[in-house]
């Protein structure tokens, strides 16, 4: 099972455990998919915002590893 699928299953379980599906009468798996899609859309929006501001759109954890060091002439990771 992929990390994304595992996250959605855990989110679905959390929604169910706290009966959050009751207010909208929507199955917990649909709410979990909705929240997952919201997070994915937000990630795209953040990347677009960073690009618009002229900043590196990659998440910080990918900026400071091997990729950046290769640009600077080193193969070491930090």
| pTM (2 d.p.) | 0.71
Asked whether residue 55 is assigned to any structural domain, the reply reads yes
Q: What whole-number distance in Å separates Cα of residue 52 and Cα of residue 77? A: 28
Q: What whole-number distance in Å separates Cα of residue 74 and Cα of residue 65? A: 11
Q: Read off the pLDDT of residues 11-21 as tens digits, 9 standing for 90 and up.
A: 999 999 999 99
Asked whether residue 56 is assigned to any structural domain, the reply reads yes
Asked whether residue 76 is assigned to any structural domain, the reply reads no
Asked whether residue 13 is assigned to any structural domain, the reply reads yes
Q: For the stretch 36-72, what's the b/e string if a residue is b when 16 or more beta carbons lie within 10 angstroms of its beta carbon?
A: beeeeeeeeeeeeeeeeeeeeeeeeeeeeeeeeeeee
**Number of domains the chain is built from:** 1
Asked whether residue 78 is assigned to any structural domain, the reply reads no
Contact in structure between 43 and 36 (CB atoms under 8 Å): no
- Residue 71 is encoded by which pair of tokens? 């640009």
Q: Read off the pLDDT of residues 4-60 as tens digits, 9 standing for 90 and up.
A: 999 999 999 999 999 999 999 999 999 999 999 999 999 999 999 999 999 988 877
Asked whether residue 77 is assigned to any structural domain, the reply reads no
For residue 23, what are the domain limits?
A: 3-71
């Amino acid at each position: 099972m992929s990390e994304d699928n595992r996250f959605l299953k855990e989110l679905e379980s959390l929604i169910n455990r706290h009966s959050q599906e009751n207010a909208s009468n929507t199955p917990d798996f649909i709410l979990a998919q909705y929240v997952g899609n919201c997070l994915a859309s937000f990630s795209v929006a953040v990347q677009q915002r960073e690009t618009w501001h002229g900043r590196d759109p990659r998440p910080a954890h990918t900026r400071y590893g091997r990729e950046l060091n290769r640009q600077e002439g080193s193969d070491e990771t930090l």
